[in-house]
Amino acid sequence: MQTKDYADYAVSGADAAAVEQLETACYEFRCYIRDPVATVNAALAQAPQMAMGHVLHAYLHLLGTEPAAIPVARQSYDAAITLAANDRERRHLDAVRLLTEGLWRNAARTLEDLSIEYPRDALALQAGHQIDFFVGDSRMLRDRIARALPAWREDMTGYHALLGMYAFGLEETGDYAKAEAFGRRGVELDPRDGWSQHAVAHVMEMQSRQRDGIAWMRDNAEAWSNESFFAVHNWWHLALYHLDLGEIDNVLKLYDGPIHGNRSTVILEMIDASAMLWRLMLRGIDVGRRWEALADNWAPVAGSGNYAFNDMHAMMAFVGAGRGDAVHTVLQAQEAAAGQDGDNAGFIRDAGRAATRAIKAFGDRDYAETIRLLRPIRSTAHRFGGSHAQRDVIDLTLIEAALRSGENRLAQALAAERAAAKAGNPFSQSLLQRSGLAAPAV
């Protein structure tokens, strides 16, 4: 039995009602709203033979870097692999299998080839785009979408999401004007599109447009935050603007509210919490007992060692809370992972080991070691994932280590570099002043 989806591609093992449910789940995933897992489960209850339902269920568990979700995704793959499936669906299943094996780059290539043959498959584009982010491939973040755009029209279901993905790829490759235009259009087409909203937020972060960014996020907050499982990251972007302006009360209010007020144990949300507290700590802000609560939530996954970018942020929490045993657990798990098959071993070797150990060294006040570890990876840190805005914590930690260690010439060079890249940023000016390159404002 085959029915067509909204892109006019055949869906095996499903009737029209099940495909409608599947499309609803895909929409929720594209906008990062509601509960697409529950929706796809409902679709599979109607049509358990629908391979694409199992595929989506697997992606929803694999694209959050949650170690406990990998076995769930494998079960989805096992359930689908014996079902009737067409060429497009089999390619998706190949990508799912590769992801469960930790072969992120091979999965990205599989989805790249799928999208060349089936450019209107929005799920393939979204899954591939997310993988490009996790492996730090900024060019493919942009070009995977650019290749497909000619096959789309504005009236097609999901077009807003393509604009948002393209906008983020453009931003990560430095084309800020085009990125903002595409991201704004994505939000115009669907105000619930949290990824388009986020792409524009990244542009304003990179251009040091803090007041514009605050207005952009607050003016549309109900649309992008309501029932959104991406809201924490967008609230984090809002907090970054306030942080650069020195509005610490606003930052702490956002942290204690939508960023980590519910003490989330979702890894991507704990990353945002760690990243914000670490930035505050670098500025000498006392965050009270917040580190302890966050470290408690990181503790169950301290030894997972499944994604190096997560390790760095777990280390921040454990260093901040003074959890020596957990620090040791992260380092042991990371070293074990470095010797295994899969792409994470490369992430660790390329950047993750140095970044994670540098966070520990900074916590130990061994600023010379922090500098030694971070300087060589500044140009290669994209290899373990994250965005420019997220990886900025590496540069911030390096600058602060140089300032605290008395490496004045290095501190001045780094502060001048940052001021040039983020002209008009109040925090950049404060770093110049601390390094001795600029007179204090009168």
Could you list the pLDDT tens digit for every one of the 442 residues in the chain?
569 999 999 999 999 999 999 999 999 999 999 999 999 999 999 999 999 999 999 999 999 999 999 999 999 999 999 999 999 999 999 999 999 999 999 999 999 999 999 999 999 999 999 999 999 999 999 999 999 999 999 999 999 999 999 999 999 999 999 999 999 999 999 999 999 999 999 999 999 999 999 999 999 999 999 999 999 999 999 999 999 999 999 999 999 999 999 999 999 999 999 999 999 999 999 999 999 999 999 999 999 999 999 999 999 999 999 999 999 999 999 999 999 999 999 999 999 999 999 999 999 999 999 999 999 999 999 999 999 999 999 999 999 999 999 999 999 999 999 999 998 899 999 999 999 997 555 4
Structure tokens at 28: 């929720």
Tell me, what CATH number does 111's domain have? 1.25.40
401 and 278 Cβ atoms separated by less than 8 Å? no
Residue 424 pLDDT: 86
Q: 119, 136, 153: which is the final residue of a domain? A: 136
Q: Which of 136, 163, 183 delimits the end of a domain?
A: 136
Query: Are 319 and 360 in contact, with CB atoms under 8 Å apart?
Result: yes
Residue 374 lies in a domain: yes
Number of domains in the chain: 2
Which backbone phi and psi does 6 adopt, to 5 degrees?
A: -65, -25
Handedness of CA 240, 389, 149, 9 (dihedral sign): negative
Residue 201 located in a structural domain: no
Give CA–CA dist 368/404, Å, rounded.
Answer: 9
**287, two tokens:** 């965050």
Phi-psi domain of 176 (left: phi exceeds 0; alpha: psi -120 through 50; beta: other): alpha
- pLDDT given for residue 439 in this prediction: 54
8-state DSSP, 149: G
Q: Judging by beta carbons within 10 Å of its beta carbon (0-12, 13-18, 19+), is residue 366 exposed, middle or buried?
A: middle
Q: What pLDDT is attached to residue 442?
A: 41
**What is the Cα–Cα distance from 391 to 362, expressed in whole angstroms?**
16
Residue 423 is predicted with a pLDDT of: 86
Query: If you ran DSSP here, which 8-state letter would residue 386 be given?
Result: -
Q: What is the pLDDT of residue 438?
A: 72
From 101, 137, 28, select the one nearest 383 (Cα to Cα).
137
Residue type at 318?
F
Q: Give me the domain span that covers residue 312.
A: 260-405
| Rounded Cα gap, residues 420 and 422, in angstroms | 6
- Tokens 């800020």 found at: 176
Q: Are residues 132 and 264 in the same domain?
A: no
Residue 315 located in a structural domain:
yes
Residue 297 lies in a domain: yes
DSSP string, 182-246: HHHHHHHH-TT-HHHHHHHHHHHHHTT-HHHHHHHHHHTHHHHHTTBSSHHHHHHHHHHHHHHTT
Residue 239, domain member (yes or no)? no
* Domain presence at residue 267: yes
Residue 93 domain-assigned? yes
Domain boundary among 136, 171, 189: 136
Residue 146 included in any domain: no
Q: Which residues contact 68 (CB under 8 A, 6 or more apart)?
A: none
